[in-house]
Amino acid sequence: MNFIKMHGAGNDFIVFEDFKNQYNDLSMIAKKLCNRRFGIGADGILVARKSQVADIEMIIINADGSYAAMCGNGIRCFAKFVYEQGYVSKETMKIQTGDGIKIADLIFSKGDIQGVKINMGKPSFDCKDFKANYNENIINKRFNVGGKEYILTSLLMGVPHTVIIDDGDNFNVNEGSKIEKHELFVEGTNVNFCKIKNDSHIEVKTWERGAGPTLACGTGCCASVVATNKLGFVKKSVTVDAPGGRLFIEITDSGVMMTGPAENICAGDTYIL
Protein backbone atom coordinates (compact mmCIF):
# COMPACT_ATOMS: atom_id res chain seq x y z
CA MET A 1 0.00 0.00 0.00
CA ASN A 2 1.34 3.43 -0.98
CA PHE A 3 0.27 6.21 1.34
CA ILE A 4 0.77 9.87 2.16
CA LYS A 5 0.58 11.10 5.73
CA MET A 6 -1.01 14.54 6.01
CA HIS A 7 -2.32 16.94 8.61
CA GLY A 8 -4.81 19.75 8.81
CA ALA A 9 -3.97 22.04 11.74
CA GLY A 10 -2.34 19.08 13.51
CA ASN A 11 -5.20 16.61 12.93
CA ASP A 12 -3.26 13.87 11.10
CA PHE A 13 -4.30 11.20 8.62
CA ILE A 14 -2.94 8.37 6.51
CA VAL A 15 -4.36 8.79 3.02
CA PHE A 16 -4.43 6.20 0.22
CA GLU A 17 -6.51 5.08 -2.77
CA ASP A 18 -8.59 1.94 -3.06
CA PHE A 19 -10.15 2.25 -6.51
CA LYS A 20 -10.28 -1.53 -6.94
CA ASN A 21 -12.01 -2.03 -3.55
CA GLN A 22 -9.30 -4.47 -2.50
CA TYR A 23 -9.21 -3.47 1.17
CA ASN A 24 -12.26 -5.07 2.79
CA ASP A 25 -11.52 -4.55 6.50
CA LEU A 26 -10.81 -0.84 6.76
CA SER A 27 -11.46 -0.93 10.50
CA MET A 28 -8.59 -3.36 11.05
CA ILE A 29 -6.35 -1.39 8.71
CA ALA A 30 -7.07 1.87 10.56
CA LYS A 31 -6.33 0.38 13.97
CA LYS A 32 -3.01 -1.03 12.74
CA LEU A 33 -1.82 1.98 10.74
CA CYS A 34 -2.94 4.65 13.23
CA ASN A 35 -1.24 3.07 16.26
CA ARG A 36 1.45 5.56 17.27
CA ARG A 37 3.72 2.90 18.78
CA PHE A 38 3.29 -0.08 16.47
CA GLY A 39 2.05 1.62 13.29
CA ILE A 40 2.58 4.82 11.35
CA GLY A 41 0.49 6.88 13.75
CA ALA A 42 -2.51 9.08 12.94
CA ASP A 43 -5.95 10.19 14.10
CA GLY A 44 -7.55 8.27 11.24
CA ILE A 45 -7.34 7.03 7.67
CA LEU A 46 -8.82 8.61 4.54
CA VAL A 47 -9.56 6.25 1.66
CA ALA A 48 -10.19 7.40 -1.92
CA ARG A 49 -12.67 5.36 -3.95
CA LYS A 50 -14.52 5.93 -7.21
CA SER A 51 -17.91 7.62 -7.03
CA GLN A 52 -20.98 7.41 -9.24
CA VAL A 53 -22.42 10.68 -7.91
CA ALA A 54 -19.38 12.94 -7.38
CA ASP A 55 -15.82 13.41 -8.60
CA ILE A 56 -14.54 11.01 -5.94
CA GLU A 57 -15.58 9.35 -2.66
CA MET A 58 -13.87 9.78 0.72
CA ILE A 59 -14.17 7.11 3.40
CA ILE A 60 -13.09 8.06 6.92
CA ILE A 61 -12.14 5.56 9.62
CA ASN A 62 -11.06 6.76 13.07
CA ALA A 63 -7.97 5.47 14.88
CA ASP A 64 -10.12 3.09 16.96
CA GLY A 65 -11.58 1.51 13.82
CA SER A 66 -14.95 3.28 13.98
CA TYR A 67 -16.55 4.84 10.91
CA ALA A 68 -17.01 8.62 10.64
CA ALA A 69 -19.46 10.21 8.23
CA MET A 70 -17.49 13.43 7.97
CA CYS A 71 -14.22 15.06 9.04
CA GLY A 72 -13.49 18.73 8.38
CA ASN A 73 -9.71 18.64 8.61
CA GLY A 74 -9.69 15.30 6.81
CA ILE A 75 -11.64 16.47 3.78
CA ARG A 76 -9.24 19.39 3.25
CA CYS A 77 -6.31 16.96 3.27
CA PHE A 78 -8.24 14.59 1.02
CA ALA A 79 -8.98 17.31 -1.57
CA LYS A 80 -5.29 18.25 -1.72
CA PHE A 81 -4.29 14.57 -1.97
CA VAL A 82 -6.57 13.64 -4.88
CA TYR A 83 -5.63 16.78 -6.80
CA GLU A 84 -1.88 16.37 -6.36
CA GLN A 85 -2.06 12.66 -7.18
CA GLY A 86 -3.99 13.44 -10.37
CA TYR A 87 -7.12 11.52 -9.37
CA VAL A 88 -9.22 14.70 -9.72
CA SER A 89 -8.05 17.56 -11.94
CA LYS A 90 -10.66 20.13 -10.89
CA GLU A 91 -9.77 23.02 -8.60
CA THR A 92 -13.38 22.96 -7.38
CA MET A 93 -14.44 19.38 -6.78
CA LYS A 94 -17.38 17.38 -5.47
CA ILE A 95 -16.50 14.83 -2.80
CA GLN A 96 -18.91 12.10 -1.75
CA THR A 97 -18.95 11.55 2.03
CA GLY A 98 -21.14 9.80 4.56
CA ASP A 99 -22.73 13.20 5.16
CA GLY A 100 -23.51 13.82 1.51
CA ILE A 101 -21.62 15.56 -1.27
CA LYS A 102 -19.29 18.36 -0.17
CA ILE A 103 -17.79 21.07 -2.39
CA ALA A 104 -14.07 21.70 -1.97
CA ASP A 105 -12.33 24.79 -3.39
CA LEU A 106 -8.54 24.62 -3.58
CA ILE A 107 -6.69 27.83 -2.70
CA PHE A 108 -3.44 28.37 -4.61
CA SER A 109 -0.44 30.62 -4.10
CA LYS A 110 2.39 30.58 -6.65
CA GLY A 111 1.13 27.31 -8.04
CA ASP A 112 0.99 25.46 -4.71
CA ILE A 113 -2.09 24.55 -2.67
CA GLN A 114 -2.02 26.81 0.38
CA GLY A 115 -5.41 25.90 1.79
CA VAL A 116 -8.84 24.48 1.08
CA LYS A 117 -12.31 25.92 1.53
CA ILE A 118 -15.15 23.47 2.21
CA ASN A 119 -18.91 23.96 2.28
CA MET A 120 -19.64 21.80 5.33
CA GLY A 121 -23.41 21.92 4.86
CA LYS A 122 -26.06 23.08 7.28
CA PRO A 123 -26.16 22.20 10.99
CA SER A 124 -29.11 20.76 12.87
CA PHE A 125 -30.05 21.15 16.52
CA ASP A 126 -32.78 18.49 16.21
CA CYS A 127 -32.02 15.70 18.72
CA LYS A 128 -33.40 13.09 16.35
CA ASP A 129 -30.69 13.94 13.80
CA PHE A 130 -27.84 13.10 16.19
CA LYS A 131 -29.79 10.44 18.11
CA ALA A 132 -30.00 11.93 21.59
CA ASN A 133 -32.22 10.54 24.35
CA TYR A 134 -33.93 13.86 24.98
CA ASN A 135 -37.36 15.26 24.17
CA GLU A 136 -36.25 18.76 23.15
CA ASN A 137 -33.27 20.56 21.66
CA ILE A 138 -30.13 20.51 23.81
CA ILE A 139 -29.27 24.21 23.77
CA ASN A 140 -27.65 25.66 26.89
CA LYS A 141 -28.99 22.78 29.00
CA ARG A 142 -27.50 21.74 32.34
CA PHE A 143 -26.60 18.06 32.87
CA ASN A 144 -24.76 16.10 35.54
CA VAL A 145 -22.17 13.81 33.98
CA GLY A 146 -20.01 11.67 36.24
CA GLY A 147 -20.78 13.84 39.26
CA LYS A 148 -19.92 17.16 37.58
CA GLU A 149 -22.27 19.71 36.08
CA TYR A 150 -21.91 20.83 32.47
CA ILE A 151 -23.96 23.24 30.38
CA LEU A 152 -24.27 21.53 27.00
CA THR A 153 -25.29 22.64 23.53
CA SER A 154 -25.48 19.76 21.05
CA LEU A 155 -25.98 19.63 17.30
CA LEU A 156 -25.26 17.68 14.15
CA MET A 157 -22.47 19.20 12.04
CA GLY A 158 -21.96 16.23 9.74
CA VAL A 159 -21.33 14.22 12.92
CA PRO A 160 -22.66 14.74 16.48
CA HIS A 161 -21.03 17.55 18.45
CA THR A 162 -21.48 18.97 21.93
CA VAL A 163 -20.15 22.42 22.82
CA ILE A 164 -19.26 23.60 26.32
CA ILE A 165 -18.35 27.23 27.03
CA ASP A 166 -15.24 27.25 29.21
CA ASP A 167 -14.11 30.81 29.80
CA GLY A 168 -12.71 30.05 33.25
CA ASP A 169 -10.50 27.04 32.43
CA ASN A 170 -12.83 24.93 34.56
CA PHE A 171 -12.60 21.85 32.34
CA ASN A 172 -9.95 19.54 30.96
CA VAL A 173 -10.37 18.24 27.42
CA ASN A 174 -10.07 14.67 28.75
CA GLU A 175 -13.41 15.16 30.50
CA GLY A 176 -14.86 14.75 27.03
CA SER A 177 -14.40 10.98 27.37
CA LYS A 178 -17.27 10.62 29.85
CA ILE A 179 -19.52 13.03 27.94
CA GLU A 180 -18.84 11.21 24.65
CA LYS A 181 -20.23 7.96 26.05
CA HIS A 182 -23.00 9.38 28.23
CA GLU A 183 -26.35 7.61 27.87
CA LEU A 184 -27.80 10.86 26.53
CA PHE A 185 -25.99 10.25 23.23
CA VAL A 186 -26.97 6.95 21.60
CA GLU A 187 -24.08 6.99 19.11
CA GLY A 188 -21.73 9.10 21.21
CA THR A 189 -20.71 12.69 20.63
CA ASN A 190 -17.62 14.77 19.95
CA VAL A 191 -17.02 17.28 22.74
CA ASN A 192 -15.69 20.82 22.23
CA PHE A 193 -14.51 23.08 25.05
CA CYS A 194 -14.81 26.63 23.79
CA LYS A 195 -13.28 29.87 25.06
CA ILE A 196 -14.71 33.17 23.77
CA LYS A 197 -11.97 35.72 23.00
CA ASN A 198 -14.29 38.25 21.37
CA ASP A 199 -17.26 38.22 18.99
CA SER A 200 -15.09 37.15 16.03
CA HIS A 201 -12.46 34.97 17.70
CA ILE A 202 -12.73 31.78 19.77
CA GLU A 203 -10.45 29.01 20.99
CA VAL A 204 -11.55 25.36 20.82
CA LYS A 205 -10.16 22.16 22.32
CA THR A 206 -11.85 18.96 21.11
CA TRP A 207 -12.29 15.48 22.47
CA GLU A 208 -12.95 13.61 19.23
CA ARG A 209 -15.24 10.60 19.26
CA GLY A 210 -13.16 7.54 18.40
CA ALA A 211 -9.82 9.37 18.59
CA GLY A 212 -9.58 11.25 21.91
CA PRO A 213 -7.97 14.70 22.22
CA THR A 214 -6.92 16.02 18.81
CA LEU A 215 -4.91 19.10 17.89
CA ALA A 216 -7.83 20.27 15.76
CA CYS A 217 -11.27 19.11 14.67
CA GLY A 218 -12.76 20.80 11.61
CA THR A 219 -16.37 19.80 12.22
CA GLY A 220 -15.85 20.68 15.90
CA CYS A 221 -14.64 24.18 15.05
CA CYS A 222 -17.66 24.62 12.77
CA ALA A 223 -20.02 23.30 15.46
CA SER A 224 -18.46 25.61 18.06
CA VAL A 225 -19.02 28.66 15.87
CA VAL A 226 -22.60 27.61 15.10
CA ALA A 227 -23.34 27.00 18.80
CA THR A 228 -21.72 30.18 20.11
CA ASN A 229 -23.48 32.19 17.39
CA LYS A 230 -26.78 30.57 18.39
CA LEU A 231 -26.10 31.57 22.01
CA GLY A 232 -25.30 35.16 20.97
CA PHE A 233 -21.59 35.20 21.78
CA VAL A 234 -20.14 35.59 18.26
CA LYS A 235 -20.93 36.92 14.81
CA LYS A 236 -21.24 34.74 11.69
CA SER A 237 -17.59 35.09 10.62
CA VAL A 238 -15.19 33.75 13.22
CA THR A 239 -11.49 32.91 13.51
CA VAL A 240 -11.01 29.68 15.46
CA ASP A 241 -7.75 28.75 17.16
CA ALA A 242 -7.27 25.05 17.90
CA PRO A 243 -4.11 23.72 19.59
CA GLY A 244 -2.72 22.69 16.19
CA GLY A 245 -3.60 25.69 14.08
CA ARG A 246 -6.13 28.25 12.91
CA LEU A 247 -9.33 27.87 10.87
CA PHE A 248 -11.74 30.46 9.52
CA ILE A 249 -15.45 29.63 9.80
CA GLU A 250 -18.32 31.52 8.21
CA ILE A 251 -22.05 30.84 8.59
CA THR A 252 -23.85 31.50 5.29
CA ASP A 253 -27.27 30.79 3.83
CA SER A 254 -25.81 27.97 1.71
CA GLY A 255 -23.99 26.28 4.60
CA VAL A 256 -21.11 26.60 7.04
CA MET A 257 -17.90 27.49 5.21
CA MET A 258 -14.58 26.26 6.63
CA THR A 259 -11.21 27.46 5.34
CA GLY A 260 -7.93 26.06 6.60
CA PRO A 261 -4.59 24.44 5.83
CA ALA A 262 -3.73 20.98 4.49
CA GLU A 263 -0.12 19.82 4.66
CA ASN A 264 1.84 16.79 3.48
CA ILE A 265 4.04 15.20 6.15
CA CYS A 266 5.61 12.21 4.40
CA ALA A 267 4.99 9.52 1.80
CA GLY A 268 5.83 5.84 1.86
CA ASP A 269 4.59 2.30 1.49
CA THR A 270 3.53 -0.27 4.04
CA TYR A 271 2.29 -3.84 4.30
CA ILE A 272 -1.07 -4.76 5.77
CA LEU A 273 -0.59 -8.14 7.49
What are the catalytic residues? 71, 217
Distance CA 197, CA 202 (A): 5
Cβ-contact 133, 119 below 8 angstroms: no
CA distance 119 to 167: 29
In 59-160, which ranges are continuous DSSP H helix?
72-84
Quote the CA–CA distance of 132 and 106 in Å, as a whole number: 35
β partners of residue 68: 60
The whole-angstrom separation of Cα 129 and Cα 13 is: 27
Q: Is 219 annotated among the ligand-binding residues? A: yes
Q: Is the dihedral of CA 147, 150, 156, 159 positive or negative?
A: negative
190 is in an annotated binding site: yes
Q: Decide if 240 contacts 202 (C-beta within 8 A).
A: yes
C-beta separation of 146 from 178 below 8 A? yes
Nearest partner of 178 among 168, 167, 189, judged by Cα: 189
Say if residue 218 carries a ligand binding annotation: yes
CB 83 within 8 A of CB 48: no
Q: Is 62 annotated as a binding residue?
A: yes
* Ligand-binding site membership of 176 (annotated): no
Annotated binding-site residues for substrate read 11, 62, 72-73, 190, 208-209, 218-219
Please state the residue numbers annotated as binding site: 11, 62, 72-73, 190, 208-209, 218-219
